[in-house]
Structure 1
């Protein structure tokens, strides 16, 4: 929960951060799809992306545990799966045309039958070489097989989707250059807090000084 006081305006933001369902990908009835993917993309990318579409759809369409949730933040989205990871796999011949067409139809069905829309995309822009070193430092076992070239290809897919003039994306984008320290990234977040939390579009009510002090004491800040 994030209490926000701006001048004489006060409102409460309850944020839910939805991480990628990595553990689901690691155990599909005993099968580690994440490991299989990085072992042989040509063989397993189709199955992996099918399951990723399913799990991301479940995450993006599930109701928050708290009915008071104001903002949901997704680590990645169905849109990034479709326009980055699927495109990268098809462009680099890891999946064939028929597989690509089936996965594209899955995405179109999800978009037509569920509300998977996004209000904002925060693009954490990072050179592939920096991401590669961070992945090695993270030490996730399945990712030891990831070559730098794969990250370079994914970077190109993200650039095409979010930064190119002919991009099909219509969602507003904020770009953070994250080949910096964590403190500098946090500062970028702070400077863009209103946009990220939707405060620039949220209708707020005036609060008198007495009420504002009561709110501060209640929330202990």
Structure 2
């Protein structure tokens, strides 16, 4: 891992992205980059009135992630990102459009902007996809007790999981490592841990 690499971790809410990011950063001495939820000035309004604020909220995330991605490209040493710009568009914004919370005209503007931005970026050297069933996601969300997440409907998590699978079926920007995080226990199980390191190092 001497040469600069860009590792991205993708996955649904509660899939274990932050935990894995922190774990790998400790193991390899990497620079982490976390999801900037608390910086979105539209988020509180969005949760109260999704149809009015969905487009603006997603535009903020796209802009912020674009700037962050650029910064990561310039950061020396290997970097690790918890949730990417691609997920904002391919999963979260697309879900809002399909639920008719972002109308056709706004969606067309958003998607064109996303395509233009993504084509100008250096893709990750490795995309780690954390696959996790909804029942496990629900339990983890309950255990971590974040106020904004406590009332997330099961149907919403199912739709996001379906969009993740759809996205990864056609994803070709970089090598992908798929980890089933409902069964993987790299924190306490030495065999799982060694296997995880081996797979990551094989890609990098």
Which TM-score band applies after superposition, normalised by the shorter structure? 0.7 to 0.9
- Confirm or deny that 1:38 pairs with 2:47: yes
Question: Could you state the TM-score of these two structures normalised by the residue count of structure 1?
Answer: 0.70
Structure 1 unmatched ranges of 5 or more: 3-12, 203-221
**Corresponding residue number in structure 2 for 1:74:** 81
Q: Hey, what's the Cα distance between the residues in 2 that align with 1:82 and 1:186? A: 36
Q: Does 2:111 correspond to 1:96? A: no
Report the equivalent of 1:141.
Answer: 147
4+ long deviations beyond 4 Å: 63-66, 184-189
- Offset of residue 132 of structure 1: 1.7
Q: Which residue of 2 aligns with 1:51?
A: 60
Residue from 151, 168, 173 that aligns with 2:176: 173
1:7 alignment partner in structure 2: none
1:210 is matched with which residue? none
8 Å contact from structure 1 (residues 121, 174) kept in 2 = yes
Q: State the TM-score, normalizing by the size of structure 2.
A: 0.75
Contact 2:136 2:182 in 1 (8 A): yes
What are the superposed Cα offsets for residues 147-190 of structure 1, whole Å, 9 maximum, x if unpaired?
1111111000001111x3xx254422111111136437885453
- 1:16 paired to 2:31: yes
Q: Is the 8 A contact 1:110 1:116 kept in 2?
A: no
Which structure exhibits the higher relative contact order, with contacts defined as CA atoms closer than 8 Å and separated by 6 or more residues? 2
Alignment check: 8 A CA contact 2:124 2:173 kept: no
Q: Say what the alpha-carbon RMSD is for the aligned residues.
A: 2.9
Question: Which structure is larger by alpha-carbon Rg, 1 or 2?
Answer: 1
Aligned partners of 2:72 and 2:79 also within 8 Å: no
Say which structure is richer in helix: 2
8 Å CA contact 1:124, 1:177 repeated in 2: yes
